[in-house]
Amino acid sequence: METPAAKPDSRRLAPLALAAIGVVYGDIGTSPLYTLKECFNPDHGVPLTPDNVYGIASLVFWAIIIVVTLKYVLFVMRADNRGEGGILALLALAQRAAGADRNRLGLLMALGMIGAALFFGDGVITPAISVLSAVEGLQVGSKAFEPYVVPLTLLVLVGLFSIQRHGTELVGRLFGPVMVVWFLVLAVLGGLEIREHPEILKALSPVHGISFMARHGWVAFIALGAVVLAVTGGEALYADMGHFGKLPVQLTWFVLVLPALMLNYLGQAALLIARPDAVSNPFYLLAPGWALYPMVILSTMATVIASQAVISGVFSLSRQAVQLGYSPRLDIRHTSDEEEGHIYIPRVNWVLLAAIIALVVGFKTSSNLAAAYGIAVTGTMAATTVLALVVARASWRWPLGVCIAVGALFLMVDLAFFGANLLKFTHGGWFPLAAAALMFLLMATWRKGRLILGRRLAEGAMPLDLFLQQQKDSASILRVRGTAIYMTGDAETVPIALLHNLKHNKVLHQRVVFMTVITEDIPRVSARDRVVVEGLAEGFYRITVRYGFVQEPDIPKVLRLCKAFGLEFEMMDTSFFLGRETLVSAPHPEMAEWRERLFVVMSRNAVSATDFFRVPAGRVVELGTQVQM
């Protein structure tokens, strides 16, 4: 069956392109709401003169061309992990390309986790700044609305997060058309202003941007921290590629999104030259007076869509983190019977909302939030560049000189933006770094803790071959009717749950099955490759189950697939034995005591294996053991 990422035929291209406009471009499409306003924020020290407007407009144009068009649309999107995008999918691709070099693998893993952690920070800031900047349009009409901006923003955000559990299928059908209207309005408003002041088109020359940087030096470098707001959302192009395929995303960028954005930015720049007083909010003042409130409504709808896209991206990244071993098991709920990517994760949803509410209440205005925005975005961009270069060199066999040239261009821009945003550390830039540091700590602690736990369990484990030989040579063990399925992470050793069952109950079932579930570093494993069944000895079987990192295990379905191997299961005659480890401190722990406690807390709050693997609860037997960390 053709996946969404496969090359679409002409009949599917139009609906896929429409859907891509609604989901992929919500974030970058709402950047005109605040970008130029922030570039000329008095705190940045850039005087509002015609030459400076030309310079800023030129920098915005070339940032979009280099970062979004050249880097993401034409370069990074080539690095698809069997159709899937996103930084964790890219990390899996880069690790596969790196081979067995443990040092390189460790470095790449750290880089990928940093990028993913920063993306979580972006997921908190994007809904806050987008919706807040849209609602602030009410103040352009009347200052009387000022006290209501924050409450209205919170009301919109609470409503958005409250409907997540119902899924986004119905709202999703509206995303594409609304965003098409949004981009057309951006283009028309900008085009009308450009018609009045066509000389602004000179800003397309890079000379103006270079001249601005040369004239203002340090002040111009600081201004880059606001210019980068024009390219926020670039990561979404890559992250959402798996839903639509490369062609629809690339087509809509060149045909609609890029022209509309550039017309609007140039239109705002022309307005600032003609009316310097419009600097208070050039986006809304670009519209005629009668259109202000309709624009506020349309902007709010567009920012809700942008927020939804980021929320969905955080859900997807969280699921990938669970499957790839960077996070404890989470309660992942599917909200669509047809689309695999439509998921809802309650814990992530409410933690996100709480963090966003704290941000809006704490920062109060989009200008204050803008200082916090750029660090998360540019940090993720730099990590993506390095990982994509690893793939280009190792997998695509690009010449070293080409990789160096491409990397120098992209990293120069990424790091310049990142450095400019680091200067905002005390003005809000600390927040995404703190959020990213927390997420990195959680992911690193979980991964290291699981490795230590795996080694501890392996130390006292019995080789499976030895166990089977002992059972073959012994006829003293009573075999009882039925099937026992033992879930195990190591297919070569005897599950501790079986040893405990044998020790205390002194019986084995007539049919014993060892089941290992493996998550591959590819997005999906087809049903025909899902299961491998091996006969080990009389009455003993091993089942190996494989999933991709965007798929969730479903053990009852797996058992039905085993029928093709001649192994049938009657659920009422089958028991599932799961091990439950109680973690205790070791005399000489491998992790710091506080990290060990953190790992224990994360373990206790993980979703049970019964729920995660969708095992019928009434057929489960859990046997516990104490493990020293």
Give kind and range of the element (H or E) at residue 104. Answer: helix 102-135
Give the pLDDT band (50/70/90) at residue 5: very low
SS3 sequence of 446-502: HHHHHHHHHHHHHHCCCEHHHHHHHHHHCCCCEEEEEEEEEECCCCCECCHHHHHHH
pLDDT average, residue stretch 448-465:
84
Give the pLDDT band (50/70/90) at residue 190: very high
d(CA 18, CA 248): 8
Exposure class string for 515-542: b at 16+ Cβ within 10 A, else e: bbbebbbbbbbeeeebbebeeeeeebbb
Q: CB burial class (10 A; 0-12, 13-18, 19+) of residue 594?
A: exposed
Report which of residues 591 and 391 the model is more confident about: 391
CA dihedral for 461, 462, 468, 470, sign (positive or negative)? negative
d(CA 150, CA 132): 7
pLDDT average, residue stretch 386-402:
92
d(CA 500, CA 456): 17
Cβ pair 27, 306 in contact under 8 A: yes
Cβ pair 542, 514 in contact under 8 A: yes
Looking at residue 341, its pLDDT comes to 57
Give the pLDDT band (50/70/90) at residue 6: very low
Ranges of beta strands (E only) in 520-596 are: 531-537, 540-547, 574-584
pLDDT in tens, 277-319: 999 899 999 999 888 899 999 998 888 887 877 787 788 888 8
% of the chain residues with pLDDT over 90: 38
d(CA 272, CA 280): 10
Return phi, psi of residue 330, to 5°.
-120, 155
Residue type, 168: T
CATH number of 15-448: 1.20.1740.10
Looking at residue 4, its pLDDT comes to 43
Cβ pair 374, 163 in contact under 8 A: no
Q: CB burial class (10 A; 0-12, 13-18, 19+) of residue 567?
A: middle
d(CA 374, CA 230): 10
d(CA 378, CA 67): 10
Looking at residue 75, its pLDDT comes to 94
d(CA 485, CA 439): 35
Q: Taking all residues of the chain, what is their mean pLDDT, rounded to a whole number?
A: 86
> Which DSSP letter does residue 81 get?
B
d(CA 173, CA 49): 44
Residues in Cβ contact with 565 at an 8 Å cutoff, skipping those fewer than 6 apart = 531, 533
Residue type, 487: M
Looking at residue 168, its pLDDT comes to 52
Indicate if the pLDDT at residue 27 is higher than 60: yes
Give the pLDDT band (50/70/90) at residue 1: very low
**pTM for this model (two decimals):** 0.80
Paired residues of 486 in beta bridges: 514, 577
pLDDT average, residue stretch 195-217:
94
Report which of residues 84 and 520 the model is more confident about: 520
Indicate if the pLDDT at residue 8 is higher than 80: no
Tokens of 503: 């020790």
Looking at residue 193, its pLDDT comes to 95
Residue bearing tokens 């969280």: 318
d(CA 27, CA 11): 27
Cβ pair 366, 199 in contact under 8 A: no
Domain residue ranges of the chain, discontinuous segments joined by +: 15-448, 460-628
Instruction: Report the length, in residues, of the chain.
Output: 629
Give the pLDDT band (50/70/90) at residue 173: low
Tokens of 261: 């954005």
Cβ pair 549, 519 in contact under 8 A: yes
Give kind and range of the element (H or E) at residue 622. Answer: strand 620-628
CA dihedral for 350, 355, 360, 361, sign (positive or negative)? positive
d(CA 314, CA 23): 13
Indicate if the pLDDT at residue 428 is higher than 90: no
pLDDT in tens, 61-81: 999 999 999 999 999 998 887
